[in-house]
Amino acid sequence: MSTIIDGKAIAAKLRAEIATEVKILKEKGIIPGLATVLVGEDPASEVYVRMKGNACQELGMHSVKHTLPATTTEAELLALVARLNSDPTIHGILVQLPLPKQINSDTILEAISPVKDVDGFHPYNVGRLMVGKPTFQPCTPYGVMVMLREAGVDLAGKEVVVVGRSNIVGKPVALMCLQQHATVTICHSKTRDLPAKVKGADVVIAAVGVPEMIKGEWIKEGAVVIDVGVNRIGEKKLVGDVEFAAASQRASAITPVPGGVGPMTITMLLYNTLEAAKKAGTGDR
Ligand SMILES: NC(=O)C1=CN([C@@H]2O[C@H](COP(=O)(O)OP(=O)(O)OC[C@H]3O[C@@H](n4cnc5c(N)ncnc54)[C@H](OP(=O)(O)O)[C@@H]3O)[C@@H](O)[C@H]2O)C=CC1
Ligand SMILES: Nc1nc(=O)c2c([nH]1)NC[C@@H]1CN(c3ccc(C(=O)N[C@@H](CCC(=O)O)C(=O)O)cc3)C=[N+]21
Ligand SMILES: [Mg+2]
């Protein structure tokens, strides 16, 4: 049986540390502030944005939520981003993805000031990560790396297989593992013989968005499994991209869904917002 890597517990520990730092900053007259922007009425996005706002409040941070109608134009959203860029009470800006189809998300992400880009999605921050000099690191991959560290997994020389190549999860997590000296394979929908790739992995990172598509029998005995997938089945049930029950029979350590990567994502967002506020405080940005 495998160890469960408890994202909720690791997140709680980190949040306590962040709260302490927020207190110290507040004594210097700086209140870390996060602006979240939600366009349209996607129920899942509403849940996430609410969770982010609540988490800010719990840690004593300032948070402002902007909800815009689904019919918002790109120009209107750009105007809001410009306002937030120049608002001194706001240190971090998060525009929830996906955006409605009349809005080009690249245009929006590039309009967010790189010093307020707590999602780490601006090409400047992406490039910094690429050259091994990260500034803001994207929250989900960053959370995965913290979980691996907390679980005592040393990546040097390990075979890491990432399934998924999105800009927000697959690609950046692969880069971060490479930075930690892993040998990284990135798989996607055109990959030939995915089972064989996964079978060779010491560490599997699944970010596909297909419920339980990574089968337990593909997992090498003793491998570490990180399941980024969050798939809603019906009204209430959440499952990952990995067949959890079967995979946990073979893995040495595995993350659950829920309670794995999800809580870490929100925590790293808070961490990045704190860092943004600290930099603003020193004028170092
Ligand atoms: N826990 C958290 O905090 C977060 C969780 N998520 C979850 O992670 C999952 C992935 O999210 P995201 O990266 O945004 O998703 P995307 O849809 O952007 O990317 C999915 C990737 O999986 C690949 N893929 C799809 N089907 C297959 C297949 N059958 N075999 C191999 N590869 C396949 C796609 O390949 P191709 O490029 O060829 O199309 C693509 O690269 C989702 O479940 C999402 O909900 C996302 C963000 C945060
Ligand atoms: N600009 C932007 N930044 C993001 O970081 C971003 C985004 N857009 N769009 C959508 C994805 C998805 N995402 C999640 C965050 C937390 C959980 C999370 O906390 N999940 C809980 C369960 C929550 C529930 O019950 O639904 C868990 O896994 O335990 C999941 C997914 C951030 N994303
Ligand atoms: Mg779009």
Write down the residue that tokens 């210097």 correspond to.
Answer: 28
Which residues have a beta carbon within 5 Å of ligand 3, which is an ion?
A: 99, 105
The helix/strand/coil state of 160 is strand
Helix (H) or strand (E) holding 169: none
User: How high does pLDDT run on average in the chain?
Assistant: 96
Nearest CA to ligand 1 atom 26: 189
Active site residues: 52, 96, 119
Give the residues across from 12 on adjacent strands: none
Distance, in Å, from the CA atom of 216 to the CA atom of 219, rounded to the nearest integer, reads 6
User: Which residue ranges make up each domain of the chain?
Assistant: 31-113, 139-261
pLDDT tens per residue, range 7-66? 999 999 999 999 999 999 999 999 999 999 999 988 889 989 999 999 999 999 999 999
ipTM of the complex: 0.98
Q: C-alpha distances in angstroms, 137 versus 52, 73, 174, 276?
A: 17, 28, 13, 12
Largest CA distance in the chain: 56
Q: Which atom of ligand 2 is nearest to the CA of 95?
A: 1
Please give the share of the chain, as a percent, with pLDDT higher than 90.
93
Report whether pLDDT(283) > 70.
no
The helix/strand/coil state of 33 is strand
In total, the chain counts a number of residues equal to 285
Topology annotation, domain 139-261: Rossmann fold (3.40.50)
Domain 31-113 has CATH 1.10.1370.40: no
Q: Which atom of ligand 2 is nearest to the CA of 261?
A: 28
User: Which of 185, 230, 239 maximizes ligand 1 atoms within 8 Å of its Cβ, making it the mutation to test the pocket?
Assistant: 230
Residue 251 contacts residue 220 (beta carbons within 8 Å): no
Do the two domains 31-113 and 139-261 of this chain adopt the same fold? Answer: yes
